[in-house]
Structure 1
Amino acid sequence: MAEKITGSTVKAERDPETGLLTGPDGKERCWWHANLGDYLLYHDTEWGWPVDEDRRLFEKICLEGFQSGLSWLTILRKRDAFRAAFANFEVEKLAAFTDADVERCLGDAGIVRHRGKIKSTINNARRAIELRTEFGSLAAYVWSFEPKPENRPARIDFATARTLGKTDESTALSKDLKKRGWSFVGPTTVYAFMQSMGMVNDHLEGCCCRDAIEQARADFTRPVRT
């Protein structure tokens, strides 16, 4: 969510010290949802909650790649169109896409019409199948890069959040994915993915979601290679 930090509209409303924003329900949350209904729902119910389902993980990493250079809100509001265009991010179906499918997607005004990112999504589906064959699941592979607790900041306050564009772990995952033939998976994109899928909990101290997500992560059974 680093791209939201300098947003002028949000900056005018958040607490300048804590980075928290009071919602319409009176609860304090991370600033970046800006009290927009769909964005606030995403903040509360998706961002940071641990995910171990391969389809959802693949969708998240692909959409983070599409987000590069844009706002996440733009991608979120196009997500249903992306799902329709890309076979609901089912990797077996996506891996079978042809050049005709690329052209179809390029003509779809509901998504981000970027040829390189469209072709990357198809390529990455094929690479995801290879990872699943090797590790048993995409989830087992991804979660193997989870940072150790001692490598995480002691507190996720507003000042710390502004430094978390990428980490050693996101760089390592990015490098390994690229070595395996994935594309549009730079370390910043990968860290945003790690935030989204709950590998890290970057909700700010004082955010109403932080403790519940921390408990969910404690209760979560990490997938392992089979």
Structure 2
Amino acid sequence: MAKMLGDRSAGERQGIAARAKGGLLVLGGFVAVLFVIEVINFLLTRSLNRTFGLRPRSADGLLDILTFPLLHANLNHLLSNALPLIIFGFLVFLSGIRVFLTALGFSWLGSGLTVWLIGDPGVTVGASGLVFGLFAFLLVRGFFNSSWKQILLAVVLFMLYGSILFGLLPTVAGFVSWQAHLGGAAGSVAAALLLRPRNRTATLAPGNRSGI
């Protein structure tokens, strides 16, 4: 029995290490792509923003939902999103690629649809909706999963980064798109609800244990 528990513990550690390595590669690669796009966009005098930025309530703007988080207004805009995107994305990735892709996809879609429906006139770009989405996912998933480890992580993250939630308020967000932030957060909450264990037995089963 002790040997079996030791093997299982070693296997879990190896699994977490593999997810951590995969998370760094995926998030690092994604942010690297954002910087490459930023350089190209700069060289083209921001013409990519005009072509692929999200235009609210326009028929062809629906396709822009797929591209607008990949573009930024300037380098400082990208830099403000890059680090939290890596941190929050990495922490979500520790629970597995399926969880990460679901949270990211719902954040992306929720952010884009909200901007398209109620966004201010003009063109919206930026990955901040994804940042808010991944952050909100980390804050709420532990309550849906009944996981004290995830709740503890949520408390720590809220203490460190909770002030960014002011970006959800129209009166505080200023020139940034609070609609993108709100939609990304709402999408990720829906993802956390979708990914919750269906029953207590499923939560406790060894094969269904989540990462951090």
TM-score normalised by length of structure 2: 0.31
Bigger radius of gyration among the two:
2
TM-score normalised by length of structure 1: 0.29
Q: Which has the higher helix share?
A: 2
With CA pairs under 8 Å and 6+ residues apart, which has the higher RCO, 1 or 2?
A: 1
